[in-house]
Structure 1
Amino acid sequence: MPVADPRTVYAATHVERAALADDLAGLTDAQWATTSLSDRWTVEETVAHLTAAASIGPWRWVRSVLGARFDFDRHNDRRLAEHRGTTPAETLARFRAVQDSTTSTWGPKAAWLGEVVIHGEDIRRPLGIVRTPPVETTTTVAEFVASRDFTVAGKTVSEGLRLEATDGPFAAGDGPLVTGPTLALVMVMAGRAAHLDDLDGPGVAALRSRLARTPPREAP
């Protein structure tokens, strides 16, 4: 899946949104209130954040950031509140309504595929829901996240390490080896310590130390 092909990336994003919406159907109120791996947000709040991300274009994003005085936590929380429903069912319906959206702010389209893959796993893992996106999708996200610090600090987290996927072609970096499923590598590069136990190799200790000092970041 070429990162430079927006149509392919958008198609994968739509597939992941649809899969997440289907996984959320039938959750109890307690499950909706579960804390996600993003820590600051519950499952429902994380879904509302994904709806916001698929609903705000470049100029609305600029106005929102300016209104929040470049406090990205405030910006995210305001947009989350805007797209959260009065009930979890309404929150889910709003998310389904943007399933095929191609709206996004500036930046590489792979970032917004990463947004739904990472936050989808943020939601599923605490709920015990297992989904492995197609390896083409996780490989695209892994390559993007490892290459720069954009919405998450993937390049910084993985610096000086050799990452190799055990379920696909992704490989990046030089140094002590870290191996594991592509999705787990993505999540650890995104700062999610819960996935460290899915990885092997002499470089895992360095990742564990780095994540202990670096809380997960939320995409602005």
Structure 2
Amino acid sequence: MNTGDRRLLAGVACVVLGATGGASDAHAQDAGNWLVRARVVHLDSANKDDTGFGLTINNKVLPEVDISYFFSPNLAAELILTYPQKQTIHSSVVGADIGTFKHLPPTLTMQYHFTGLGNFRPYVGAGINYTNLSSVKFDSNVAALNLGVKHNSFGLAVQLGVDVPIGGGWLLNADVKKVQIGTTVYSNGNSVGKLRVDPVLFGLGVGKRF
């Protein structure tokens, strides 16, 4: 995580922590079945590669929107969305960036929300991620390898977070997710291994209960 990313996330974290002492209407967060949040998320990739090319992708900060529906005060389903994110592919063997791609990674989780804890609403979740890779482009410096990737990925997702009501149905949120995302890499039409992105996603944001 670079210095700018740290400052951005630290600033939002200060807002979350500072608001906890002034939350005066915790029960308002429980009104309504729908909850919409907007988060700033830092994607930290595991970059596990067994292709022999030493492949990694860049970490980045990205926007995220999620929509939750509460079946009860404790049980909810959450759909996590963003727009296609551009990533750079680096090869330690080549010693340079060798391409780019975009990924669209919607995730659906089922959550259990803990109640009766004052101004805090911690939750845990688990579900499934689908990631679509598109606009895959490899540079001319690896043209002889004729590289390609599998465009669809399915994997599990786990989640831990907390909502902090601040009144009127509004809340602040901190959230961390571990998601299984990976792709098979091909050279001249033959599989040469897999790149496991498997990121940890650290998110901070705001939400509104309807």
Bin the TM-score by the shorter chain. under 0.3
TM-score, normalised via structure 2 length: 0.25
**Greater helix share, 1 or 2?**
1
**Greater strand share, 1 or 2?**
2
